[in-house]
Structure 1
């Protein structure tokens, strides 16, 4: 996909965004107007045009999206780095059946770019681990991912 601009998620990207993975989200800060970047993992592609993610409903991301819906989600996978630009909106202020106060936000995909620098490829994708109770983390992850798929 190098040097191409797509208007939807490709067949290669769709499965990457249907599992919990490390991504970053850039939003426009509602107070300063500057860029705000956050790392997150609860992300799910509903289809090639819509990506959902969950964050704490007190997160700055929620206010940023309400004030300026333009966002860019960065994904590392399939040997490259992708910038997915779109418009976000808060679908739910508080997701039901999840013990934490999480907001559900959906991005309508407008543009997908392979932004990896020329002549290179990713040889090892980012990995992370939850540092709190493994059983509780797994249960919460299942609940959040299920809620995003509805």
Structure 2
């Protein structure tokens, strides 16, 4: 169903954003004014109109958001691709309960658009593997997701 537009997350997409997953996060670069796209995995739908993202609090993403709040999150899920447009704000400079210096970014959703091209569907979602210590990665991922739920 290409070209569906919603003001908030639909239930199946909300459900997919209850766990860590691969997404792209686009901001407007504070120096060039052009697009800046990053791949991230710490993302969580707080409710149907709010998404939390955790990023290093020294990252270009944080600088970009402080300069211009417009963002786009791209999610591949439910056999399609979604473009989630919103306004971002650094809700916490340091995410509580997490040992890394991560900022909590809150995205207030303006629009959710199914952007999959006509007559097609995704047959395999992106997968990734953490290449550092698996136990440490799992522990950190759990800490971030717990912090999201408490925020």
Same fold (TM over 0.5): yes
Give the number of equivalent residue pairs: 150
Tell me what 1:94 maps to: 94
Please report the TM-score for the alignment, with normalisation by the length of structure 2.
0.97
- d(CA) in 2 for partners of 1:108 and 1:98? 23
Please say if 1:71 is aligned against 2:71.
yes
Tell me what 1:133 maps to: 133
Q: Could you report, residue by residue, the CA deviation over 1:52-110 in whole angstroms, capped at 9, with x for unpaired residues?
A: 01001111000101110000000001000000000000001111221100000010000
Is the deviation greater in 136-145 or in 94-103? 94-103
Tell me what 1:142 maps to: 142
8 Å CA contact 2:2–2:117 kept in 1: the answer is: no
CA drift at 1:4: 1.9
- d(CA) in 1 for partners of 2:96 and 2:106? 16
3-state SS in 2 of match to 1:12: helix
- d(CA) in 1 for partners of 2:84 and 2:96? 28
What are the ranges of 5 or more consecutive residues in structure 1 without an aligned counterpart? none
Tell me what 1:85 maps to: 85
Please say if 1:104 is aligned against 2:116.
no
Tell me what 2:60 maps to: 60
RMSD (Å), alpha carbons: 0.7
Tell me what 2:49 maps to: 49
3-state SS in 1 of match to 2:19: coil
- d(CA) in 1 for partners of 2:43 and 2:94? 16
Tell me what 1:26 maps to: 26
Please report the TM-score for the alignment, with normalisation by the length of structure 1.
0.98
Q: Could you report, residue by residue, the CA deviation over 1:7-65 in whole angstroms, capped at 9, with x for unpaired residues?
A: 00001100111110000001000010000000000000000000001001111000101
- d(CA) in 2 for partners of 1:33 and 1:109? 22
